[in-house]
């Protein structure tokens, strides 16, 4: 394979940046760009890259797939549930085309939704293709894991992801995290589904436990708002804990915030031998770049994967691909 023929579906923040990145890569050819926004349909996707890509954005994913017969569809529409994410691409899988998505709810379905995982796995094997979800959280999981390599004993791992959300639109932070709403609106939104629940954050506990060889009996999930003096939500916090025989072995905190100082960092503490307190700090565009870059760097893996649903547990650390993609397939 000299080049990977790819279609990008969903030209929002993630998709537009992905198109721009892939247009600069060797060994990947964008053969289709798709979006449902009437304002984008019919425009040249080259406007996103500034180099005359020559691809007109279309509103029909299935049609472009039938015409171009791509090797891969990267679906960045990120519906709110794993089920909806899968349903969007069933016709694509039926055409014998691999699918890659940043929908983090699809990353470890064997744990969270085993029936759906089995359904996707069967569909993919029938068509000789693979389906993989990869997102920024998997990158953070590997940061945690990397810090365990030099330990002779570990009693507990605590991880905190503090993410400034200025890189995302007001509409996005309201829907995904409920930031900028009133406290009352936040709780109402969580109840009626207009604010997303992100229970896939539990995946990281299972991912780490699998690599550590720990048996986790129970994983708890809590989603809370941080509220200012005006009862406005300025951050959404997710607290996940993994227990072994009643003892908390792992704790992860995910904080999504419109931070005035625009801080963005990951911090892991390991209670063991030696004691570790490690922090990575980033520029505020970290979350966005991490998401579309992880998609680009995972392309060779999804192309050469065995047919079926691919869990994040099966994905190795995918490093920056700075040469021709076909050399990695």
pLDDT above 70: residue 161: yes
State how far the Cα of 329 lies from the Cα of 326, in Å rounded to an integer: 5
pLDDT above 80: residue 235: yes
Query: Could you tell me how far CA 280 lies from the centroid of its own chain?
Result: 19
pTM of the model: 0.87
What is the predicted pLDDT for the residue at 325?
66
Residue with tokens 């929002």: 12
Let me know how many helices (H) and strands (E) the chain has, helices first. Answer: 11, 12
Residue with tokens 């537009």: 16
State how far the Cα of 275 lies from the Cα of 155, in Å rounded to an integer: 10
Taking each helix axis as running N to C, give the angle between helix 82-94 and helix 114-127, from 0 to 180 degrees, rounded to the nearest 10.
10
Q: Distance between terminal CA atoms of the chain? A: 8
Per-residue pLDDT reduced to its tens digit, 272-289: 999 999 999 998 888 888
Higher pLDDT, 225 or 323: 225
Domain regions of the chain by residue span: 4-135+288-328, 137-283
State how far the Cα of 17 lies from the Cα of 11, in Å rounded to an integer: 8
What is the predicted pLDDT for the residue at 184?
94
Per-residue pLDDT reduced to its tens digit, 20-74: 899 888 899 999 999 999 999 998 887 766 666 678 999 999 999 999 999 999 9
State how far the Cα of 57 lies from the Cα of 89, in Å rounded to an integer: 18
Q: Nearest CA to 211 among 250, 164, 176?
A: 250
Considering the domain 4-135+288-328 in this protein, what is its CATH number?
3.40.50.720
Average pLDDT, the chain: 90
* pLDDT band at 113; cut points 50, 70, 90: confident
- CATH code 3.30.360 for 137-283: yes
CA distances 111 to 86, 201, 250, 279, 312, Å, are 16, 12, 17, 29, 11
State how far the Cα of 221 lies from the Cα of 61, in Å rounded to an integer: 36
């Amino acid at each position: 394979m000299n080049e990977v023929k790819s279609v990008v579906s969903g030209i929002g923040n993630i998709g537009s940046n992905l198109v721009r990145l892939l247009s600069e890569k060797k060994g990947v050819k964008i053969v289709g760009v798709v979006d449902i926004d009437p304002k984008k349909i019919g425009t040249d996707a080259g406007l996103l890259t500034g180099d005359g890509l020559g691809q007109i954005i279309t509103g029909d994913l299935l049609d472009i797939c039938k015409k171009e017969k791509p090797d891969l569809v990267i679906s960045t529409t990120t519906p709110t549930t794993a089920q909806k994410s899968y349903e969007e691409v069933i016709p694509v899988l039926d055409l014998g085309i691999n699918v890659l998505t940043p929908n983090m709810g699809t990353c470890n379905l064997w744990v969270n939704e085993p029936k759906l995982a089995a359904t996707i796995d069967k569909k993919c094997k029938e068509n000789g293709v693979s389906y993989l979800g990869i997102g920024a959280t998997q990158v953070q999981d590997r940061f945690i894991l990397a810090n365990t390599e030099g330990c002779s004993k570990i009693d507990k791992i605590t991880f905190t992801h503090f993410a400034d959300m200025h890189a995302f639109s007001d509409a996005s932070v309201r829907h995904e995290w409920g930031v900028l709403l009133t406290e009352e609106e936040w709780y109402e939104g969580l109840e009626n589904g207009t604010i997303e629940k992100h229970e896939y954050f539990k995946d990281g506990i299972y991912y780490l436990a699998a690599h550590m060889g720990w048996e986790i009996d129970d994983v708890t999930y809590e989603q809370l708002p941080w509220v200012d003096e005006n009862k406005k939500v300025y951050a959404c916090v997710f607290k996940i804990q993994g227990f072994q025989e009643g003892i908390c072995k792992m704790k992860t905190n995910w904080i999504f915030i419109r931070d005035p100082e625009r801080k963005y960092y990951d911090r892991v503490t390991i209670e063991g031998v030696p004691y570790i307190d490690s922090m990575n700090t980033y520029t505020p565009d970290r979350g966005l770049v991490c998401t579309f870059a992880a998609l680009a760097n995972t392309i060779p893996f999804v192309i050469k994967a065995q047919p079926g649903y691919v869990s994040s547990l099966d994905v190795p650390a995918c490093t920056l691909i700075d040469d021709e993609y076909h050399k990695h397939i």
